Amino acid sequence: IRWRVIALAIAALTVAGAATVVARTTTAEAAAPAPIGVEDEGASCPVSLPGSLTSNAKLPDPFKKLDGTRISTQSEWTCRREEIEQLAEKYVYGTKPAKPASVTGTVSRTGITVNVSDNGRSASFSASVSLPSGTGPFPAVVVFAGLGADTSTIQGAGVAVINYNPLSVGAEGTPRTNKQGAFYTLYGSSSSTGLLMAWAWGVSRIIDVIQQSGGSILKADALGVTGCSRYGKGAFVTGAFDERIALTMPIESGSGGAPIFRGIPGESGSQPLSSAYSEQPWLGDAFSSFTGNPNTLPVDTHEMVAMVAPRGLFMMENPHIDWLAAKSGSVAALGGAEVYKALGAGDNISYWSDIQDGTHCAVRPEWKTPLQQNLQKFLLRTGNAAGVIRVSSLKSGNLADWRDWTTPTLTGGTPTSAPPTSAPPTSAPPTSA
């Protein structure tokens, strides 16, 4: 008992000390974006996942810990976020393995190569790079497959484009029992991890290589990710699960992407969860238990939105195509925005579905200025425009219909500090997802 008290006291002091430093930084730099840290800041948080699930028609309370109490300080968000992360891995996307034992590769002015190996298995993949004019080093946006992203505006702003082919890391068109691509070469073709998380893992390994490259061409602390449609789903998951990404920009991601799972069954014409689950192995195998009853999911996508907080997030949706579930998408944004607000980062999230052209994955004039502002704020660090939430009246969800919790006033500075690495000996061991 005495040891536990001492350990907890040390933990409290560590957290309090870190929070003080962060608070001072925050005051000095006003509303500047938070610094970019590691892939998963809360990796050492003790988490014990629930043994059984209960049905809840409302969105789970993002501020409520698995022990039933609510967080009251901003620094507690790091470990609460880790609970959400592990629930999302276990029930929605499948496990994202930590950085493999070996990641090597190169960054040149035209491309990035990645070589990974772990447990005697090896794989490689690559991405091409398009630099903007100028000398660099440059911020960069990882663009999934090129579909729908406004790469000319990105490059015109002085930001490099990394053209990522996710299918080389997780192939479409296979049965769940025989998944293919670099991720599955390492972790097995019967891995229960779905393609979205495999794709996210691939981007994380590209970031490893950029970090290791020394930063003369691309800046590892100024990276974004974007993609449209199925690649919007991928961009969303990628940004949620790697805290080194400064700006996440999913476009028209639809069912299985940003829209709340609980909203899909009641949103007319939206892609049913069973269809999103079976069209491709995008979601993890474990999601099969929830396609008919998302109310038993212990997480929903407003919490994946929250996982991105306080980092930059710009969600783009299309309300002209029912299949894309933009109404449920707006609820995810509004619900996640409550966490942004509680962390003092309400200005870091944008959502925009008020667009004229209904063509799926079109490059749109309405998104050009907010795109430039997000690039300036989070990657170039030359601007500080407030985020914009602009929901089309065609597909406008009401958060009040979906929540039975309120947003707390959290005390303290922005959560950028890691929790103590050694947990008290009496606490539960971390549960792997």
**Footprint of ligand MCU on residues 275-314 (CB under 6 A)?**
276, 279
Binding residue count for ligand MCU, defined by CB under 6 A: 8
Contact with ligand MCU (CB under 6 A) among 179, 230, 364, 403: 230
* Of 248 and 255, CB closest to ligand MCU: 255
Residue 430: other Cβ atoms inside 10 A: 16
Q: Is 247:378 a contact under the CB 8 Å cutoff?
A: yes
Is 221 near ligand MCU (CB under 6 A)? no
Q: How far is the CB of 198 from ligand MCU (least distance, A)?
A: 16
Q: How far is the CB of 233 from ligand MCU (least distance, A)?
A: 7
Catalytic position from the list 229, 270, 328, 350: 229
Catalytic position from the list 126, 189, 360, 396: 360
Q: Is 302:295 a contact under the CB 8 Å cutoff?
A: no
CA distance 282 to 256: 8
44 counts as catalytic: no
Q: How far is the CB of 259 from ligand MCU (least distance, A)?
A: 10
Q: Is 239:96 a contact under the CB 8 Å cutoff?
A: no
229 counts as catalytic: yes
* Of 26 and 229, CB closest to ligand MCU: 229
Q: How many helices (H) and strands (E) does the chain have?
A: 10, 10
Q: How far is the CB of 317 from ligand MCU (least distance, A)?
A: 10
**Footprint of ligand MCU on residues 334-363 (CB under 6 A)?**
none
Q: Give DSSP secondary structure letters for 253-286.
A: --TTSSS-GGGGGGSTTPPPHHHHHHHSTTS-GG
Q: Is 154:373 a contact under the CB 8 Å cutoff?
A: no
- Of 226, 238, 227, whose CA–CA distance to 96 is shortest? 238
Q: State the SS3 of 193-243.
A: CCHHHHHHHHHHHHHHHHHHCCCCCEEEEEEEEEEECHHHHHHHHHHHCCC
Contact with ligand MCU (CB under 6 A) among 229, 238, 301, 328: 229
* Of 112 and 325, CB closest to ligand MCU: 325
CA distance 206 to 199: 11
**Footprint of ligand MCU on residues 235-274 (CB under 6 A)?**
254-255, 271
* Of 203 and 324, CB closest to ligand MCU: 324
Which sequence positions are flagged as catalytic?
229, 360
Q: Kindly list the residues in this chain that would bind ligand MCU in the complex (CB under 6 A).
A: 229-230, 254-255, 271, 276, 279, 324
